[in-house]
């Protein structure tokens, strides 16, 4: 019985799938780190009093949120050719850029909403202490807003993690692509895709549970 299980495709596919899972996590984490930086700048830009900055940030957010990430990664990988930008973008870099740009637009709204939710009296308190507008944002508003961002940022991590499965279309060696490579060679689609789902769930379910617990703890 045990020997049969060990020789089944459920187990035999694991070495291939784990390699893909590593790339899935790397692309997601790197993309989200860069996406948070882009989203923070854009989110604060949408709150700017400068109409030009506010308009540019709004256009970026609406364009990215209004187009599928699959189209975005294909545009970056296949559309931005050497003839247009002078060099070719490799598939992993294209995937990270796609996650960065896509997540950045959604994170921008998270940042904007979190900062906007802070009571205006906090701004006035900072000014009454003699702080500049920038210092008030840095030392008073941002720490409070960041606390409120944590749960939705965690949800964005789960969304971006699942979005990486779309990058199999450009042959990125992430989890789904490695699964497809395995079952195409072994004709074991059912068992392999079951394992793909399980590996996604191993990441997403504990993350969702932790986020709910964190949200209750932070009382946000």
Full pLDDT tens readout for the chain, 220 residues:
566 556 677 889 999 999 999 999 999 999 999 999 999 999 999 999 899 999 999 999 999 999 999 999 999 999 998 778 888 899 999 999 999 999 999 999 999 999 988 888 777 777 777 777 788 888 888 888 888 898 899 999 999 999 999 999 999 999 999 999 999 999 999 999 999 999 999 999 999 998 888 878 776 5
Judging by beta carbons within 10 Å of its beta carbon (0-12, 13-18, 19+), is residue 50 exposed, middle or buried?
Answer: exposed
Measured CA angle at 22 (ends 17, 28), to 5 deg:
120
Q: Please, where are the H alpha helices in the chain?
A: 2-6, 9-12, 14-45, 51-65, 69-74, 82-85, 91-117, 120-128, 133-136, 142-163, 175-186, 189-218
Contact 17, 196 (CB under 8 A): yes
Angle, helices 142-163/14-45, rounded to nearest 10 degrees: 140
Q: Whole-angstrom Cα distance, residue 193 to residue 171?
A: 17
Give the per-residue pLDDT at 82: 77
Whole-model pTM: value is 0.91
Residue in this structure with the two tokens 């749960």, named with its chain if needed: 151
How many other C-beta atoms are found inside a 10 Å radius of the C-beta of residue 119?
10
Look at residue 188 and give its three-state secondary structure: coil
| CATH superfamily assigned to domain 2-218 | MetI-like (1.10.3720.10)
| 147 φ/ψ angles, rounded to the nearest 5 degrees | -60, -40
């Amino acid at each position: 019985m045990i020997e049969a299980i060990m020789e089944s495709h459920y187990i035999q596919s694991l070495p291939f799938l784990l390699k893909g899972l590593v790339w899935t996590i790397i692309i997601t984490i790197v993309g989200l780190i860069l996406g948070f930086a882009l989203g923070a700048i854009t989110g604060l830009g949408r709150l700017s009093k400068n109409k030009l900055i506010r308009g540019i940030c709004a256009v970026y957010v609406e364009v990215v949120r209004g187009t599928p990430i699959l189209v975005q990664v294909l545009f970056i990988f296949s559309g931005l050719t050497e003839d247009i930008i002078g060099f070719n973008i490799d598939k992993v870099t294209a995937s990270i850029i796609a996650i960065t740009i896509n997540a950045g637009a959604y994170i921008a709204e998270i940042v904007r909403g979190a900062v906007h939710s802070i009571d205006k009296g906090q701004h006035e308190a900072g000014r009454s202490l003699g702080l500049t507008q920038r210092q008030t944002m840095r030392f008073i508003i941002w720490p409070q807003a960041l606390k409120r961002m944590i749960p939705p940022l965690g949800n964005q991590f789960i969304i971006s993690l699942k979005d990486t499965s779309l990058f199999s279309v450009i042959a990125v060696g992430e989890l789904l692509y490695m699964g497809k490579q395995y079952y195409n060679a072994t004709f074991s689609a059912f068992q392999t895709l079951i394992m793909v789902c399980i590996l996604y769930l191993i990441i997403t379910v504990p993350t969702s549970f932790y986020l709910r617990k964190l949200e209750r703890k932070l009382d946000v």
